[in-house]
Chain A
Amino acid sequence: MLKFKNVDAYYGYIHALKDVSIEVPKGKIVTLLGANGAGKTSILKVISGLLEIKEGSYEFDGKDLKNYKPEDIVSMGIVQSPEGRQIFPDLTVHENLMVGAYTRKDKLNINKSLIKGYEYFPILREREKQIAGTLSGGEQQMLAIARALMAKPKLLLLDEPSLGLAPLIVKDIFNIIQEINKSGTTILLVEQNAHQALSIADYAYILETGKVVHSGHAIELRNDEKVKKAYLGSS
């Protein structure tokens, strides 16, 4: 569904992505793992049209994505829930969700998506009229995911949904990510919490300083001694 072929990208002089090739098959959960600054978020920025690539190519459903604007990418069905949630703090929960539906052409079905989003995260319905900046961290993360779902994505990009959240809430959110995937949405998940990510992913790429250094099925990586040592702690 999504394919990167030998992609190179820079922030000014900083070489952020070096010869990156990854693939996200339809219907799967693929995760990108690695430390801070490994290039995970850069990959998402490239996909969403916020960072230009220098070399290589990347495509979605066979269509070359280079030179598309962020809003066109969303219209094609690729939506991101960005790192640090980035909800709109002065808008209400409901307004935040409506922003997510901005590109929808089928205005009549927006309400269906809203109901669906509230089914995944019932707490958001209770907080519908509340100013989003007053939500707790976990609720803001739920809002960020629900907002992305409002665009009815084919491919959902999740950047560090576990960041700064209590373990119990992380577990809830990962369960729902799995549910969203089962209902037909392909997911590309960026995580520092490798343990959690490998437990729900089908396939994983491990990045280091802008390069893919390891990849494989999630089950294999979970049992791989080297990976265990470097990314999963000593467990």
Chain B
Amino acid sequence: MQRKPLFTILALIMVVSMVLAACGTPATPTTETQATQPPQTGQQPTQPPVESKGPPFTIGISNPFISSEYRTQMIASLIEINKEYMAKGLTTELVIESADTDVAGQIQQLQNLMAKGVDAILVNPSDVNGLNATLQEAVSKGIIVISVDQELNVPGVYNVGIDQKEWAKTSAKWLAEKLGGKGSIVLIEGFPGHPANVARMEGVDEVLSQYPDIKVLAKDTGKWDEATGQQVMSNFLAAYPNLDGYWTQDGMAIGALQAVIAANPAKFPVGVGEGRCQFLKLWEEVLKDRPDFETIAVANPPGVSPTGLRIAVNMLLGKQVDKSKLGGVNGLSFVIPVPIIVTKDNLQQGLEICKDKPDAYLLDGIMTDQEVLNTFFLK
């Protein structure tokens, strides 16, 4: 009774696949949306090989996580910067694969980008190793692959991002100096085990080891989440009412500051903030009542991705990368400087930037084409 449909399915799968496999391997090129592009596979022998292909180039984006302002701003500014190149006829519309998905889903995103015949891929990886084989496949097809925001150690894959460890050291050093090298503090970290968090906490530990009189009373995770950060900070304030300072990072710093405001201790601890407009505005509010309140916001710019786009375009145009300027685990990392650090001295400057921006806006910086050329490419 149940057998018939099963045979039908088996037969269907087999027949369909055999017929189509028989059609020959590289069937039609996937350039239905980019008719001006030479196909990637060599069906038409008259076409030049991939390497010597001229503009306009097609660049693909793979992003597996959409529920954060960082990613939203990243995608929006990528589209924005690409328009510059489109106007010059250097690139076509970006091919964006962006949706909440898992490792298998991001592998599918990357495979689809390859099938669409893109010339370069910017990927914000969901997993430090899970995409390795897929990315190598792309590299072997002559596609320029750049991992943005998250450093990968895959041969042939470039990285573009800030130095997470240095980024954390900046605010940790500031905190230690503001405290005069002594006092008791707490730490609120992001996702334990997440590579960016690991690098950042290493930086913090490195800095604090030089200040033996600073005592770390406790450390907990705020999961890069505002509400969790607030909850953790409230617990800390209840347990340690005489806290001198706290170190935290983006996403959680607003929550931590709100917890401090709610607890309203006699002396506000010196805390690390974040480069988000909402935070700067909250900071300004606090200063009205507590003019001696101290905090710092080190920008974590989503602009590293559009900067990565500029690097990709220049590489596609055949410009030579100055390898001596690259760093990182495999010597393929373009390290982008932090664009802005806000302290009490330049808070007004930060607020000026935020004036016509939504609260969720992250202080940003995108290198210009000329800056990218001067910094990373041979003259």
Answer yes or no: do A and B interact: no
- Please report B residues at the A interface, Cβ cutoff 8 Å: none
